[in-house]
Amino acid sequence: MSRTVIIGGHGKVALLAAPLLVADGHDVASVVRNPEHVGDVQATGATAAVLDVENASTEQIADVVRGSDVVVWSAGAGGGNPQRTYAVDRDAAIRSMEAAAQAGVGRYVMVSYFGAGPDHGVPEDNAFHAYAEAKTAADAHLQGTGLAWTILRPSTLTAEPATGHIESGAGVVAGRVSRDNVAHVLRAVVAHPETTEGRVIAFNDGYQAIDEVIASL
């Protein structure tokens, strides 16, 4: 099993994914900005590392991820402030990729969103524009690295419990997906490097078992 580092470890998806990865036998470390969140992370079975990735250098992030097999980016500024959105969702994410490479970590999994890409179509006067631009830039940078990358693009997130089933592949349009299902997809991606390297996986809630979807990519 692998050592997995989740950056953004107190996020809703990360808190759902960490216990799944731990249950699979992975050694999980979750990176959080706020020391007050350490207890929540530890309750998932993961160990906690405190680092403000928004202001951390590449070298500082490399120190945290060194020795791991997989880095998962599940952090975000949370919207509302374009400057912070670019600082976290683009700039810090890119530094974490550089840190992974510098530390000799081979694999990197990005939690992005369904519409990311140069044709995201979000107008500049829309509050979501900075996020769309930041995630698009981070995804593009990741695809240009030498890391064994996987980009997850879930559609609109809900708080529904996991069904264990999604839809993905050609012809799928944006819909809705539970954060819990996203966590299960993340679990399956970590378990199946052989099918997920170099893949962009856009998905919604659906009717095909997650493990079947990921194993058959």
**pLDDT tens column, 97-133:** 999 999 999 999 999 999 999 999 999 999 999 999 9
Out of 16-20, 74-78, 144-148, which region has the weakest mean confidence (pLDDT)?
A: 74-78
pTM beyond cutoff 0.95:
yes
Whole-number Å distance between alpha carbons of 129 and 131 = 5
Q: Is the pLDDT of residue 182 over 90?
A: yes
Task: Enumerate domains of the chain plus CATH numbers.
Answer: 3-215 (3.40.50.720)
Residues 31-46 have a mean pLDDT of 98
pLDDT band at 80 (very low <50, low <70, confident <90, very high): confident
H helices of 53-192, where?
A: 58-65, 82-85, 93-102, 129-143, 179-191
Give residues with Cβ within 8 angstroms of 136, minimum separation 6: 116, 117, 118, 120
SS3 call for 76? coil
Rg (CA), the chain: 16
> What pLDDT does residue 118 have?
92
